Amino acid sequence: MTDQTPDQTSEQTPGRTPGAGPSGTPLSDVLVVDLTRALAGPHATMMLGDLGARVVKVETPQGGDDTRGWGPPFVGEPDQRQSTYFLSANRNKESIALDLKDDSEGGDREVLLRLVDRADVLVENFRTGVLERLGLGIEELQRRNPRLVVLSITGFGHDGPEGGRAGYDQIAQGEAGLMSLTGSGPDDPQRVGTPIADLLSGMYGAYGVLAALNERHRTGRGSVVRTSLLASLVGVHAFQGTRWTVAGEVGRAQGNHHPSISPYGLFRCRDGAVQIALGSEGLWRRFCAGFGLDPEAEGLATNPERVAVREQVVALVESVFADWDSEPLLARLAEVGVPAGKVRTLDEVYTWDQTLSQGLVVDVEHSTLGTVSLPGPPLRFFAGDGTEVTRRDHAAPPVLDEHGVVLRAWLEEEA
């Protein structure tokens, strides 16, 4: 990234590869060294890559990122099989295999340090203390490259009484309270169906990196951004958090109905179920008018009253829906002006015209698999005149060390 302070002229980070990111993308002048594996860190660096940064993924020569072995499902020929898990978190990256313990002259550790010297951002998700044992602690990294922004993602924080704990999504979802809020009831704690702690910590991390790069624009110096799986989940407790911290109420799992709004959730109809979300009294009255109900019925006139008798409200709505099939019911709800929807399976989501219209499926050319479709990035960008300038030329997730020769040659040229 190009930075300047009041007494500096603008200049590019020394050693940056010209045009490394797609022209016109927000981070096309940013080089990211990615020391992460599994999901939290790789998701953060993939987000930066989606924005145009050049992301160099540093992997162990012995098998690479752990997720390369996570499956099934795997795809491709037996001797070149690829994990679909790995494919989900590593688009728009280059791969180089380095043994970080190789400190011989001209060895892999030296290659990494040359990358660090040229980088704008370094991302790591080692357990606390691992980088220091490798001689790559924060102080050493910033001594070598004072402009370096370092993102560190841990399981439970880098310090505190449990700062050294290993971080896995399943454990974090339980420890951070999310599982106590998810499930059919208080005695049925459930994990969220995706690794939400990993994904959120990656998102928070990428967001922190952008803030640190903006700060560097003013100061000319890098900084350290820290987040954790614990922090990411506490950060999204939202009203469930203040429900406890302010009101002293402990939220519990209660299935598919909102704890503070009624009716709001999943309701059975004749051939399945639909979801409705009546988030205002106006919507409640509109719903009642559309289905022949009295919005002022005793005990149902206000949201707090309806929440107090949620089971009665659910029974009332489902009695109305009992004679409807889901598709005509959704059409009627749309006609009435009530927010509603179906519960789609993933195959339905990825073939839905609306999903496709938003660029949420991208086709890439993989070096061993050929053309594959991947879930696409969730951001779109538009110029002031309304022209879309969203990145389109996405790169497939790399095979292990796919770019090692090219990267080593580039570093030799720049030495």
Active site residues: 198
* Alpha carbon distances (Å) from 220 to 6, 9, 146, 157: 10, 11, 8, 27
Contact assessment for residue 233 and residue 176, using Cβ atoms and an 8 Å cutoff: yes
Contacts of 96 (CB under 8 A, 6+ apart): 56, 57, 58, 59, 111, 401, 403, 404, 407, 408
Are the CB atoms for 155 and 230 separated by under 8 Å? yes
Other CB atoms closer than 10 Å to residue 75's CB: what's the count? 16
Task: Work out the number of other CB atoms within 10 angstroms of the CB of residue 58.
Answer: 24
Looking at this protein, which amino acid is placed at residue 408?
Answer: R
Q: Contact at 8 Å (CB) between 172 and 229?
A: yes
Inter-residue contact 391 to 51 (CB < 8 Å): yes
